[in-house]
Amino acid sequence: MAARPSFIHNDADAPCRRRHDPAPLKALENAPLEYAAQPRRFLFEYTQAAIIAFIVALFVRTFLFQPFQIPSPSMEDTLLVGDHILVNKFALAPLSHPLERLFLPLAEVAHGDVIVFRYPGDPSQDYVKRVIGLPGETVKIVNKVVYLKRAGEDGYAAQLEPFSNHKDPGSVPPNLDNFGPVEIPDGHYFVMGDNRDNSLDSREWGFVPRANIIGRGLVIYWSFTTDNLEGAQAASRDNAAGVRRILSSAGAFFKGTRWDRTGLLIR
Protein backbone atom coordinates (compact mmCIF):
# COMPACT_ATOMS: atom_id res chain seq x y z
CA MET A 1 0.00 0.00 0.00
CA ALA A 2 1.35 3.43 -0.92
CA ALA A 3 2.29 5.63 2.00
CA ARG A 4 -0.22 8.39 2.75
CA PRO A 5 0.97 11.98 2.84
CA SER A 6 1.26 13.44 6.32
CA PHE A 7 -1.37 16.01 7.35
CA ILE A 8 -1.63 18.40 10.27
CA HIS A 9 -4.78 20.04 11.71
CA ASN A 10 -4.63 23.63 13.00
CA ASP A 11 -7.89 23.12 14.85
CA ALA A 12 -10.81 20.81 14.76
CA ASP A 13 -12.79 22.84 12.21
CA ALA A 14 -9.91 23.82 9.85
CA PRO A 15 -9.40 21.92 6.61
CA CYS A 16 -6.46 19.50 6.42
CA ARG A 17 -3.25 20.72 4.75
CA ARG A 18 -0.01 18.99 3.71
CA ARG A 19 2.84 19.41 6.14
CA HIS A 20 5.47 21.73 4.79
CA ASP A 21 9.12 20.66 5.42
CA PRO A 22 11.63 23.47 4.69
CA ALA A 23 14.68 21.09 4.64
CA PRO A 24 14.50 20.20 0.89
CA LEU A 25 14.30 23.89 -0.02
CA LYS A 26 17.37 24.67 2.05
CA ALA A 27 19.21 21.80 0.39
CA LEU A 28 18.36 23.16 -3.03
CA GLU A 29 19.46 26.62 -2.03
CA ASN A 30 22.84 25.27 -0.96
CA ALA A 31 23.25 22.93 -3.91
CA PRO A 32 24.66 25.45 -6.39
CA LEU A 33 27.42 26.38 -3.94
CA GLU A 34 28.37 22.71 -3.45
CA TYR A 35 28.36 22.00 -7.18
CA ALA A 36 30.52 25.05 -7.83
CA ALA A 37 32.99 23.93 -5.19
CA GLN A 38 33.42 20.45 -6.71
CA PRO A 39 35.59 21.55 -9.72
CA ARG A 40 37.82 23.53 -7.39
CA ARG A 41 38.15 20.55 -5.08
CA PHE A 42 38.96 18.25 -8.01
CA LEU A 43 41.60 20.67 -9.26
CA PHE A 44 43.14 20.89 -5.79
CA GLU A 45 43.27 17.10 -5.35
CA TYR A 46 44.67 16.60 -8.86
CA THR A 47 47.39 19.21 -8.27
CA GLN A 48 48.19 17.70 -4.89
CA ALA A 49 48.54 14.21 -6.43
CA ALA A 50 50.74 15.57 -9.23
CA ILE A 51 53.04 17.32 -6.74
CA ILE A 52 53.36 14.17 -4.63
CA ALA A 53 54.09 12.07 -7.74
CA PHE A 54 56.74 14.56 -8.82
CA ILE A 55 58.40 14.50 -5.39
CA VAL A 56 58.42 10.70 -5.34
CA ALA A 57 59.86 10.54 -8.89
CA LEU A 58 62.53 13.09 -7.96
CA PHE A 59 63.43 11.09 -4.85
CA VAL A 60 63.66 7.84 -6.83
CA ARG A 61 65.82 9.43 -9.52
CA THR A 62 68.08 11.18 -7.02
CA PHE A 63 68.63 8.38 -4.53
CA LEU A 64 67.45 5.05 -5.96
CA PHE A 65 67.35 4.57 -9.74
CA GLN A 66 68.25 6.60 -12.79
CA PRO A 67 67.91 5.86 -16.52
CA PHE A 68 70.83 6.19 -18.95
CA GLN A 69 71.29 5.65 -22.68
CA ILE A 70 74.32 3.90 -24.14
CA PRO A 71 75.85 6.18 -26.82
CA SER A 72 79.03 4.27 -27.81
CA PRO A 73 80.14 0.68 -28.56
CA SER A 74 82.79 0.55 -25.82
CA MET A 75 80.78 -2.00 -23.80
CA GLU A 76 79.77 -4.35 -26.62
CA ASP A 77 78.49 -7.02 -26.49
CA THR A 78 77.26 -6.51 -22.93
CA LEU A 79 75.69 -3.16 -23.78
CA LEU A 80 74.90 -2.00 -27.30
CA VAL A 81 74.47 1.46 -28.75
CA GLY A 82 70.81 2.32 -28.23
CA ASP A 83 70.38 0.32 -25.03
CA HIS A 84 68.51 2.20 -22.30
CA ILE A 85 69.58 1.00 -18.88
CA LEU A 86 68.41 1.52 -15.34
CA VAL A 87 71.16 2.23 -12.81
CA ASN A 88 70.87 1.26 -9.17
CA LYS A 89 72.22 4.28 -7.29
CA PHE A 90 71.24 3.06 -3.85
CA ALA A 91 73.35 -0.13 -3.90
CA LEU A 92 76.66 1.78 -4.13
CA ALA A 93 75.62 4.82 -2.11
CA PRO A 94 78.48 6.18 0.03
CA LEU A 95 77.85 5.82 3.76
CA SER A 96 78.84 8.16 6.55
CA HIS A 97 79.12 5.39 9.16
CA PRO A 98 80.12 1.69 8.82
CA LEU A 99 77.22 0.61 11.07
CA GLU A 100 74.81 1.65 8.33
CA ARG A 101 75.83 -1.44 6.33
CA LEU A 102 74.37 -3.62 9.08
CA PHE A 103 70.88 -2.30 8.37
CA LEU A 104 70.89 -1.19 4.72
CA PRO A 105 71.16 -3.47 1.63
CA LEU A 106 74.30 -1.80 0.31
CA ALA A 107 77.48 -3.26 -1.17
CA GLU A 108 81.03 -2.26 -1.94
CA VAL A 109 82.20 -1.84 -5.51
CA ALA A 110 83.35 -5.28 -6.69
CA HIS A 111 85.32 -6.81 -9.53
CA GLY A 112 83.21 -7.09 -12.66
CA ASP A 113 80.61 -4.49 -11.69
CA VAL A 114 79.26 -2.47 -14.61
CA ILE A 115 79.17 1.06 -13.23
CA VAL A 116 78.09 4.48 -14.42
CA PHE A 117 80.33 7.31 -13.25
CA ARG A 118 81.22 10.92 -13.91
CA TYR A 119 84.21 11.05 -16.24
CA PRO A 120 87.20 12.36 -14.23
CA GLY A 121 88.33 14.55 -17.13
CA ASP A 122 84.90 16.20 -17.46
CA PRO A 123 82.41 15.49 -14.63
CA SER A 124 79.55 16.76 -16.79
CA GLN A 125 79.86 13.56 -18.89
CA ASP A 126 78.68 10.15 -17.69
CA TYR A 127 80.63 7.03 -18.67
CA VAL A 128 79.81 3.35 -18.31
CA LYS A 129 82.62 0.80 -17.86
CA ARG A 130 83.43 -2.40 -15.99
CA VAL A 131 85.43 -2.45 -12.76
CA ILE A 132 88.69 -4.35 -13.26
CA GLY A 133 90.85 -3.34 -10.29
CA LEU A 134 90.09 -2.23 -6.72
CA PRO A 135 91.99 0.14 -4.42
CA GLY A 136 95.37 -1.25 -3.34
CA GLU A 137 95.59 -3.75 -6.22
CA THR A 138 98.14 -3.67 -9.04
CA VAL A 139 97.06 -4.11 -12.65
CA LYS A 140 99.03 -5.06 -15.71
CA ILE A 141 98.08 -6.24 -19.20
CA VAL A 142 100.27 -8.63 -21.16
CA ASN A 143 99.26 -9.49 -24.73
CA LYS A 144 95.68 -8.37 -24.01
CA VAL A 145 95.39 -10.56 -20.88
CA VAL A 146 94.64 -8.73 -17.63
CA TYR A 147 96.67 -9.67 -14.55
CA LEU A 148 95.91 -8.56 -11.00
CA LYS A 149 98.04 -8.57 -7.88
CA ARG A 150 95.86 -8.26 -4.82
CA ALA A 151 96.84 -6.15 -1.86
CA GLY A 152 99.24 -8.08 0.38
CA GLU A 153 99.96 -10.75 -2.24
CA ASP A 154 103.20 -11.29 -4.14
CA GLY A 155 102.21 -12.78 -7.48
CA TYR A 156 99.86 -11.83 -10.31
CA ALA A 157 96.81 -13.85 -11.32
CA ALA A 158 95.38 -13.87 -14.85
CA GLN A 159 91.73 -12.78 -14.92
CA LEU A 160 89.04 -14.86 -16.59
CA GLU A 161 86.92 -12.34 -18.48
CA PRO A 162 84.18 -14.01 -20.57
CA PHE A 163 82.61 -10.59 -21.13
CA SER A 164 85.65 -9.05 -22.87
CA ASN A 165 86.28 -9.20 -26.62
CA HIS A 166 88.71 -7.93 -29.24
CA LYS A 167 86.69 -7.22 -32.37
CA ASP A 168 89.25 -5.05 -34.13
CA PRO A 169 92.76 -6.28 -33.30
CA GLY A 170 95.52 -3.86 -34.20
CA SER A 171 93.28 -0.81 -33.91
CA VAL A 172 94.65 0.26 -30.52
CA PRO A 173 98.19 1.36 -29.70
CA PRO A 174 100.48 -1.49 -28.56
CA ASN A 175 100.92 0.14 -25.15
CA LEU A 176 97.23 -0.53 -24.38
CA ASP A 177 97.43 -4.26 -25.15
CA ASN A 178 100.61 -4.37 -23.05
CA PHE A 179 100.08 -2.01 -20.16
CA GLY A 180 101.44 -1.33 -16.67
CA PRO A 181 101.94 -2.45 -14.04
CA VAL A 182 100.15 0.34 -12.15
CA GLU A 183 99.08 0.37 -8.51
CA ILE A 184 95.56 1.63 -7.83
CA PRO A 185 95.51 4.31 -5.11
CA ASP A 186 93.07 4.27 -2.20
CA GLY A 187 89.58 5.43 -3.04
CA HIS A 188 90.05 4.84 -6.78
CA TYR A 189 89.18 2.13 -9.31
CA PHE A 190 90.61 0.82 -12.57
CA VAL A 191 87.90 0.40 -15.24
CA MET A 192 87.80 -0.85 -18.82
CA GLY A 193 85.23 -1.32 -21.56
CA ASP A 194 84.28 -4.84 -22.60
CA ASN A 195 85.06 -3.93 -26.21
CA ARG A 196 88.77 -3.61 -25.53
CA ASP A 197 89.71 -2.46 -29.03
CA ASN A 198 87.23 0.42 -28.99
CA SER A 199 87.22 1.81 -25.47
CA LEU A 200 88.71 4.90 -23.88
CA ASP A 201 89.24 3.84 -20.28
CA SER A 202 91.66 3.75 -17.36
CA ARG A 203 94.46 2.64 -19.66
CA GLU A 204 94.48 6.16 -21.12
CA TRP A 205 92.94 8.62 -18.67
CA GLY A 206 93.59 6.99 -15.30
CA PHE A 207 91.52 5.93 -12.31
CA VAL A 208 87.93 6.62 -11.26
CA PRO A 209 87.51 8.27 -7.82
CA ARG A 210 84.92 6.64 -5.57
CA ALA A 211 83.05 9.94 -5.30
CA ASN A 212 82.48 9.91 -9.10
CA ILE A 213 80.60 6.60 -9.13
CA ILE A 214 76.87 7.09 -9.67
CA GLY A 215 75.66 3.51 -9.45
CA ARG A 216 75.68 -0.04 -10.76
CA GLY A 217 73.99 -1.07 -14.00
CA LEU A 218 70.87 -3.06 -13.19
CA VAL A 219 68.72 -3.85 -16.23
CA ILE A 220 68.14 -2.96 -19.88
CA TYR A 221 64.59 -1.62 -19.84
CA TRP A 222 64.51 -0.75 -23.56
CA SER A 223 66.80 -1.15 -26.55
CA PHE A 224 66.47 0.62 -29.89
CA THR A 225 68.70 -0.11 -32.87
CA THR A 226 70.25 2.95 -34.50
CA ASP A 227 69.73 1.34 -37.92
CA ASN A 228 66.08 2.44 -37.71
CA LEU A 229 66.72 5.74 -35.98
CA GLU A 230 66.97 7.71 -39.23
CA GLY A 231 63.72 6.15 -40.41
CA ALA A 232 61.95 7.28 -37.25
CA GLN A 233 63.33 10.80 -37.60
CA ALA A 234 62.35 10.96 -41.26
CA ALA A 235 58.85 9.85 -40.35
CA SER A 236 58.58 12.64 -37.82
CA ARG A 237 59.60 15.19 -40.46
CA ASP A 238 57.23 13.82 -43.09
CA ASN A 239 54.80 16.38 -44.53
CA ALA A 240 52.05 13.80 -44.84
CA ALA A 241 48.87 13.87 -42.83
CA GLY A 242 49.15 13.67 -39.06
CA VAL A 243 47.70 10.17 -38.79
CA ARG A 244 50.07 8.82 -41.41
CA ARG A 245 53.01 10.47 -39.69
CA ILE A 246 52.06 8.93 -36.36
CA LEU A 247 51.64 5.49 -37.92
CA SER A 248 55.02 5.77 -39.66
CA SER A 249 56.75 6.74 -36.42
CA ALA A 250 55.01 3.93 -34.55
CA GLY A 251 56.11 1.46 -37.20
CA ALA A 252 59.72 2.60 -36.93
CA PHE A 253 59.49 2.31 -33.15
CA PHE A 254 58.30 -1.30 -33.23
CA LYS A 255 60.71 -2.30 -35.98
CA GLY A 256 63.66 -0.64 -34.27
CA THR A 257 63.03 -1.99 -30.78
CA ARG A 258 65.23 -4.94 -29.83
CA TRP A 259 62.57 -6.91 -27.99
CA ASP A 260 64.98 -9.73 -27.11
CA ARG A 261 67.10 -7.33 -25.05
CA THR A 262 64.26 -5.76 -23.10
CA GLY A 263 64.44 -6.79 -19.45
CA LEU A 264 67.96 -8.26 -19.61
CA LEU A 265 69.92 -8.03 -16.37
CA ILE A 266 73.33 -6.42 -16.75
CA ARG A 267 76.10 -8.87 -15.90
Which residues is 145 bridged to in the sheet? 142
- Predicted local distance difference test score (pLDDT) of residue 15: 46
Confirm whether 249 is domain-assigned.
no
| Global confidence as pTM | 0.67
The residue segments making up the domain with residue 165 are 70-223
Residue 233 located in a structural domain: no
Q: Is the pLDDT of residue 195 over 80?
A: yes
Which residues, other chains included, contact 126 with Cβ-Cβ below 8 Å and sequence gap of 6+? 68, 116, 117, 118, 119, 214
Distance of CA 75 to the CA centre of its chain: 18
CA-CA-CA-CA dihedral for 99, 105, 106, 107, to nearest 10: 110
For residue 148, being part of any structural domain is answered with yes
Q: Which residues are catalytic?
A: 74, 129
Asked if residue 26 belongs to a domain, the reply is no
Q: Is residue 16 one of the residues assigned to a domain?
A: no
The domain that contains 98 carries what CATH number? 2.10.109.10
DSSP H helices in 160-217:
174-177, 202-205
Q: How many domains does the chain have?
A: 1
* Residue 255 lies inside a defined structural domain of this protein: no
Q: What percent of the chain has pLDDT over 70?
A: 58
The 10s digit of each residue's pLDDT in 121-138 is: 999 999 999 999 999 999
**Is 57 domain-assigned?**
no
Q: Is residue 210 part of a domain?
A: yes
Q: How are beta strands 264-265 and 114-118 bridged, if at all?
A: unpaired
